């Protein structure tokens, strides 16, 4: 909480640039990544890959994502509109780019790595209602921009990084990004130019009717950035294939950026190749030269480990087909962390994974066999609501009865309990109270959730410990009695049915330490039948794949 005296001093001039106690200009450097021409151009991949390469040089990085949405966080966003909601260990529900940051930097992040317009405005309104602005009119300039600058400077004090890397979501020209851009312009003004490096990620169009790359749209996008008082130091030109040197020259002369700092980042087979490319192009050296910093002796990510991992991606011995059974299959970003967990786990087993997207809304007992006949394993991912659940249950039943490896995540765990209750315990009306009132509510709401009416940020969220029972598949995979995983749910296994489920063969191999919350289930005499109430995909990283995904892929390989 900001003290009234401190805020009074901050509001006495037009700068309103609150500087946290202990902050020193120049101690922390800043890289600001912006986008132009189109969204979805790969800013998140570039940002996370750049952080990765900087850690090769022993530099401590702190990535931050700015989102212009008025949502307080990403918790209530529809996956069809925005992709998956990623959950951090502290319970922050955030943009999927934070997942990319964690995976590529091999580090866990927190609420200090994510800022939305909603958070900024709530902070400002709360202060205004408390009378902390002392009668001043509260404006975008300097108050909103001041809060943004305070946020990242506070991160510098709290986390002590060498470099803070800020990705501004969306594109240049978006109204909701204008004050983020202005704040970063002010930051560069206040911090001195050699402490801030601006990178613009643009897209070079190649219209099919012309058959050649055209740079005018990119030039206009960069010019829009410069009109807002920001001079880029580096231009990253995204394209499907290599652009000509003449295109780079046009970008260079129109943006005042030297040609050697105009980098062409075309499409790769995997995102894991991007850090190697950036290193080969010496982008890390360019950044360090602009910021006036030198590499350190010790690796924070060993480049040899990363190169070995990438080499293994290109040497698969077997290909397996894994079915993703869900209701958001029309937008693959809805399951991005699952896809990444599979993708970066497979190389450790010399495997290549081919995905089959199965829309469960249309699955029933008559066609489930045809849908699953060519898969070596299925994943039933998380989700909410009634649509598609009967199809998920049919897929789980088929995999259980036909010994097809199964991994259920969150909602998939709950669907497995419902399927087992119906078809093994004989409780034909077994269901979850989330979608239907029933005489056998084998899945019910968590006690602490019963009185909660708001949807945003109110679930059981973030990292929690899981006690793993010995002599189980889960223990064999984790090799530990206690693990920490991330949760995002309101419902759980109804305690009234736990004993009956266990008597009939269901093993709850992971439980909460202090509450009677079942967190892992498995079955004996099955190649791999395992469900988790948590999202194991959120903690899986390229250099530290989650054991459950490794075990699942290994079982699928044996099935092949």
Indicate the average pLDDT of the chain. Answer: 91
Region 184-204: mean pLDDT is 94
- For the chain, the distance separating the N- and C-terminal CA atoms, rounded to the nearest angstrom, is 58
Q: What angle do CA 531, 532, 538 make, to 5 degrees?
A: 125
* Cβ atoms 315, 350 nearer than 8 A: yes
The alpha-helical segments, DSSP class H, found in 57-106 are 79-82, 97-105
Residues 212-223: tens digit of each pLDDT:
999 999 999 999
For residues 52, 335, 430 and 416, what is the CA-based torsion angle, rounded to 10 degrees?
A: -60
User: What's CA 165's distance to the chain center, in Å?
Assistant: 16
The CATH architecture of the domain made up of 29-306 is 3-Layer(aba) Sandwich (3.40)
Per-residue pLDDT at 386 exceeds 80: no
Sign of the dihedral defined by the CA atoms of residues 525, 531, 537, 538, in that order: negative
Segment 380-400 shows an average pLDDT of 88
pLDDT of residue 84: 87
CA distances from 37 to 54, 205, 224, 231, 532 (A): 27, 9, 10, 17, 41
Where is average pLDDT lowest: 95-99, 136-140, 215-219, 518-522? 136-140
As a whole number of angstroms, the distance between CA 99 and CA 232 comes to 26
Region 141-160: what's the mean pLDDT? 94
pLDDT in tens, 134-146: 778 888 888 899 9
Residue 461 has pLDDT above 60, yes or no: yes
Average pLDDT on 509-532 reads 94
Beta-carbon count within 10 A of 472 CB = 18
Domain limits, CATH 3.40.50.880, in the chain? 315-559
| Strand ranges of the sheet holding 61-67, from the earlier edge strand across to the other edge | 114-116, 61-67, 163-168, 29-35, 196-203, 234-239, 262-266
pLDDT tens readout for residues 413-447? 999 999 999 999 999 999 999 888 899 999 998 76
The 10 Å Cβ neighbour count of residue 256 is 11
Interaxial angle between packed helices 97-105 and 336-345, expressed in degrees from 0 to 180 and rounded to the nearest 10? 20
Closest by CA to 101, choosing from 255, 271, 286, 247, is 271
pLDDT at 451: 53
Task: Find out whether 404 and 385 touch, Cβ atoms under 8 Å.
Answer: no
Q: What tens digit of pLDDT does each residue of 106-115 get?
A: 999 999 999 9
Distances from the Cα of 456 to the Cα of 72, 121, 442, 461, angstroms: 8, 16, 25, 11
* Tokens at 62, concatenated: 């702190």
Give the residue numbers marked as catalytic: 410, 535, 537
| Confidence tier at 64 by pLDDT (50, 70, 90) | very high
Give the confidence band of 193 by pLDDT, cuts at 50, 70, 90: confident
- Which residue has 């970003």 as its token pair? 333
pLDDT at 200 over 50: yes
Looking at per-residue pLDDT, the higher value among 8 and 258 belongs to 258
Check residue 205 and report its DSSP letter: B
**pLDDT value at residue 382:** 84
Burial class (CB in 10 A: 0-12, 13-18, 19+), 348: middle
Residue 533's nearest CA partner among 511, 556, 550, 505 is 511
Most distant CA atoms of the chain, gap in Å: 74
Burial 290-316 (b: 16+ CB within 10 A, else e): bbebeeeeeebbebeebeebbeebeee
Token output for 25: 């200009």
pLDDT at 9 over 50: no
What pLDDT score does 8 carry? Answer: 45
Q: In which residue ranges of the chain is CATH 3.40.50.300 found? A: 29-306
- When pLDDT is averaged across residues 494-518 and rounded to a whole number, the result is 94
pLDDT at 333: 76
pLDDT value, residue 422:
96
**In the predicted structure, residue 514 carries a pLDDT above the cut 50:** yes
Q: For residue 142, is the peptide bond before it cis, meaning its omega torsion is within 30 degrees of 0?
A: yes
Please tell me the class of the 315-559 domain.
Answer: alpha beta
Q: How far apart are CA 208 and CA 408, in angstroms?
A: 43
pLDDT band at residue 458 using 50, 70 and 90 as cut-offs: low
Digit-coded pLDDT (tens) for 306-354:
999 999 998 888 999 999 997 665 566 788 999 999 999 999 999 999 9
The pLDDT-based confidence of 558 (bands split at 50, 70, 90) is: very high
The mean pLDDT of 80-90, rounded to a whole number, is 85
């Amino acid at each position: 909480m900001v003290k009234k005296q401190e805020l009074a001093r901050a509001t006495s001039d037009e700068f309103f640039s609150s500087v946290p106690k202990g902050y020193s200009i120049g101690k922390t450097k800043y890289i600001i990544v912006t986008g132009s021409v189109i969204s979805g151009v790969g800013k998140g991949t570039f940002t996370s890959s750049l952080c990765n390469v900087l850690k090769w040089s022993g530099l401590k990085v702190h990535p931050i994502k700015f989102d212009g949405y008025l949502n307080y966080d990403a918790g209530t966003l529809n996956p069809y509109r925005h992709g998956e909601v990623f959950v951090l260990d502290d319970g922050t529900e955030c943009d999927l780019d934070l997942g990319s940051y964690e995976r590529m930097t091999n580090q866990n992040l927190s609420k200090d790595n994510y800022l939305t317009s909603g958070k900024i405005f709530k902070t400002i309104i709360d202060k205004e209602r408390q009378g902390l602005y002392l009668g001043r009119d509260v404006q975008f300039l300097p108050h909103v921009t001041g809060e943004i600058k305070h946020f990242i400077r506070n991160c510098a004090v709290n986390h002590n990084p060498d470099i803070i890397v800020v990705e501004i979501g969306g594109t240049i020209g978006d109204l909701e990004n204008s004050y983020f851009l202005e704040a970063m312009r002010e930051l560069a003004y206040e911090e001195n130019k050699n402490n801030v490096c601006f990178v613009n990620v643009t897209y070079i169009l190649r219209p099919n009717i012309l058959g050649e790359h055209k740079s005018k749209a990119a030039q206009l996008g960069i010019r829009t950035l410069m009109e807002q008082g920001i001079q880029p130091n580096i231009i990253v030109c995204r394209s499907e294939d290599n652009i000509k040197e003449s295109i780079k020259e046009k970008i260079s002369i129109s943006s005042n950026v030297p040609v050697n700092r105009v980098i062409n980042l075309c499409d790769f087979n995997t995102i894991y190749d991007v850090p190697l490319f950036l290193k080969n192009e010496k982008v890390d050296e360019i950044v360090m030269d602009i910021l006036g910093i030198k590499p350190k002796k010790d690796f924070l990510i060993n480049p040899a480990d990363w190169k070995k991992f990438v080499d293994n991606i290109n040497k698969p011995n077997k290909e397996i087909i894994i079915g993703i059974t869900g209701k958001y299959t029309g937008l693959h970003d809805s399951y991005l962390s699952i896809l990444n967990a599979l993708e970066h786990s497979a190389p450790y087993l010399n495997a290549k994974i081919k995905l089959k997207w199965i829309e469960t809304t249309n699955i029933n007992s008559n066609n489930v066999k045809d849908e699953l006949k060519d898969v070596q394993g299925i994943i039933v991912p998380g989700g909410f609501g009634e649509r598609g659940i009967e199809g998920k249950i049919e897929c789980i039943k088929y995999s259980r009865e036909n010994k097809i490896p199964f991994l259920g995540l969150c909602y998939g765990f709950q669907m497995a309990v419902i399927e087992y209750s119906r078809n093994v315990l004989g409780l034909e009306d077994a269901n979850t109270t989330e979608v239907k009132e029933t005489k056998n509510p084998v899945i019910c709401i968590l006690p602490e959730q019963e009185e909660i009416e708001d949807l945003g940020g109110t679930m059981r969220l973030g990292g929690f410990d899981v006690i793993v029972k010995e002599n189980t598949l889960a223990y064999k995979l984790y090799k530990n009695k206690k693990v920490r995983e991330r949760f995002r749910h309101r419902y759980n296994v109804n305690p009234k049915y736990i004993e009956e489920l266990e008597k009939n063969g269901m093993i709850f191999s992971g439980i909460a330490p202090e509450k009677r919350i079942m967190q892992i289930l498995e079955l004996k005499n099955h190649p791999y039948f395992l469900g988790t109430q948590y999202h194991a995909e959120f903690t899986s990283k390229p250099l530290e794949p989650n054991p459950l995904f490794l075990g699942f892929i290994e079982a699928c390989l044996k099935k092949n």
